[in-house]
Amino acid sequence: MCTVCGCGTGSVEGHSHSHDGDHAHSHDHAHGHPHHHHDHDHSDIHFGHGPAGTEVPGMSQARLIEIETDILSENDRYAAENRGFLKGRGVLALNLVSSPGSGKTTLLVETIKALGDQPVAVIEGDQQTANDADRIRATGAPAVQVNTGKGCHLDGHMVGHAMEHLNLGAGSVLFIENVGNLVCPAAFDLGEDAKVAILSVTEGEDKPLKYPDMFTAARLAILNKTDLAPHCDIDLDTYEDNLRRVNPSIEVLRVSAKTGEGMDAWLAWLAAELAAKTGRQAAE
């Protein structure tokens, strides 16, 4: 069983944390506390007078503590730190999400080549291997590979550490290539400006309907490998309709990283986002 997702069947291996070495976590706690004793007066019935000061059906008055905390608050805290850091430097950060094999890395390699002098840095997330970071570094752009091990997504903490290894200058673009997975990365904010979903035409027009969470979270969808559309009975208009069905405000670009079709529109989108980000920074 995947110890992070809880998906699949098999043995449970317990859980472990892997950090960059500068954190030490210990989950052991000493127990053996004195217990509180209460004196009760049973002649009257009062509600809301317990230690909690409130009454919730089904819950005893032992001690009720309202928390109202998002479960992902810890991740969101790291993401907010990342966002502050990126804003301070005027860096545009895009979280690239997709299924495995949609052509993210090829699109990135071609994008970096086309951007020329524009400073770019890449964080590559995969379960294993440094293959993708090696492909990016071959273009001359700095890249950090984050291997999540058993993990199915990048989180704010991992990205914060990865950013420490990149010399992010003002006006640069940071591409965060998430783990190929259309489920979990939707929920984890990394501090990015936008999620960009990349789909390849071979995945089928109903992909957005099958994984709506991700396409709801994304601002832009890139329909990649359009050169293959004539070979695989795909109707690109239906593909776009399905994307807009799950997210009426999503922007869609049709691109072939291989032939270069549609790359101009993608580069124009990037330039506009970067100008907006650095313009905002200059205005403040």
Partner 1 sequence: MHEMSLCEGIRSVLETQAATHKLDRITRVRLEIGQFAGVEKPALEFAWSVVMRGSHAEGSTLEMIDLPGRAMCFDCAQEVEIEDRLSPCPNCGSGKLMPTGGDEMRIKDLEAI
Amino acid letter, 29: H
Task: Tell me which of 59, 138, 232, 276 binds partner 1, using CB under 8 A.
Answer: 59
Q: Judged by CB under 8 A, which stretch of 27-35, 83-91, 110-118, 224-232 contacts partner 1?
A: 27-35
- Is-contact 105 98, C-beta < 8 A? no
Per rule CB under 8 A, is residue 28 in the interface with partner 1? Answer: yes
Count CB neighbours of 61 within 10 A.
Answer: 17
CA distance 225 to 209: 20
What are the Cα distances from residue 157, in Å, to 18, 64, 73, 125, 277?
11, 31, 12, 13, 23
Per rule CB under 8 A, is residue 244 in the interface with partner 1? Answer: yes
Nearer to partner 1, 74 or 261 (CB): 74
Task: Tell me which of 9, 10, 27, 45 binds partner 1, using CB under 8 A.
Answer: 27
* Shortest distance in whole angstroms from residue 217 CB to partner 1: 9
Best CA proximity match to 114, nearest among 232, 261, 249: 261
Per rule CB under 8 A, is residue 53 in the interface with partner 1? Answer: no
Task: Tell me which of 130, 183, 228, 265 binds partner 1, using CB under 8 A.
Answer: 183
| 120-126, strands of its sheet edge to edge | 143-147, 120-126, 173-177, 92-98, 194-200, 220-224, 251-254
CA distance 280 to 86: 12
Per rule CB under 8 A, is residue 11 in the interface with partner 1? Answer: no
Task: Tell me which of 5, 229, 236, 252 binds partner 1, using CB under 8 A.
Answer: 5
Residues interacting with partner 1, by CB under 8 A? 2-7, 12, 14-15, 27-29, 33-36, 56, 59-60, 62-75, 151-153, 183-184, 186-187, 209, 212-213, 216, 244-249
